[in-house]
Amino acid sequence: MSSGPSLRDQPAAHGGHRLRDERARALAARARARAATWTGAMARLSVADVLSAPPAGHTGLIMSGTADDFPDLRRWTERWPAAAVVLRLLAVGALSFTIVHTGHPAAWALGGVAAVAGVMWAVSAVRRTPGLVFAIGVFAVCGAVLAGTGLAEPSGLTYVFMSLLYLQAVVEPRVTALYVGAAVIVAGAISAVAAHNGSQFPWIIAVSVGGYVFGDARRSRRLAVERAQDLLVMTRRANTEQAHAAALAERGRIARDVHDVLAHSLSGLAIQLEAADALLTDHTDVERAHTMVIRARRLAREGLSEVRRAVAALREDVKPPQESLALLAADYTEDTGWPATFEVAGGPVPQLSVETAQTLQRAAQEALTNARKHAPGAAVALRLAVGTDDMVDTVTLTIENAPSTTGSAPLASSGGGWGLVGLRERVDLVGGSVEAGATAEGGFRVTVVVPVAEDAQAAALGD
Q: Is the pLDDT of residue 384 over 90?
A: yes
Q: Which residue has the higher pLDDT, 222 or 53?
A: 222
CB 168 within 8 A of CB 121: no
Taken in order 332, 422, 315, 454, the sign of the CA dihedral is: positive
CA dihedral 236, 51, 218, 125 (to 10 degrees): 50
The runs of H, that is alpha helices, within 46-151 are: 47-50, 61-64, 74-79, 81-100, 105-123, 132-149
Displacement of CA 52 from its chain's centroid (Å) = 26
pLDDT score, position 385: 94
pLDDT score, position 264: 63
Picking from 37-41, 153-157, 245-249, 425-429, which range would have the lowest pLDDT averaged per residue?
A: 37-41
Give me the amino acid identity at 20: R
| Residue 15 to residue 19: CA distance in whole angstroms | 6
| Residue 128 to residue 147: CA distance in whole angstroms | 28
pLDDT digits (tens, 9 = 90+) for 339-381: 999 999 988 898 888 788 888 988 998 888 888 888 888 999 9
Maximum CA extent, the chain: 131
Specify burial of residue 298 (Cβ count, 10 A radius: 0-12, 13-18, 19+): middle
pLDDT digits (tens, 9 = 90+) for 249-267: 767 766 766 666 666 666 6
Q: Which residue has the higher pLDDT, 180 or 36?
A: 180
**Residue 318: band (very low, low, confident or very high) from pLDDT cuts 50, 70, 90:** low
Cβ count near 314 (within 10 Å): 9
pLDDT score, position 13: 39
Of 92, 211, 190, give the one whose Cα is nearest residue 147.
190
Of 384, 368, 275, give the one whose Cα is nearest residue 329.
368
pLDDT digits (tens, 9 = 90+) for 194-212: 888 888 888 888 988 888 8
Q: What is the pTM of this model?
A: 0.40
List b or e across 347-368, with b for residues whose CB sees 16 or more CB atoms inside 10 angstroms. Answer: eebebbbbbbbbbbbbbbbbbb
pLDDT score, position 341: 94
Q: Which residue has the higher pLDDT, 40 or 87?
A: 87
pLDDT score, position 237: 87
pLDDT score, position 433: 92
The mean pLDDT value of the chain amounts to 75
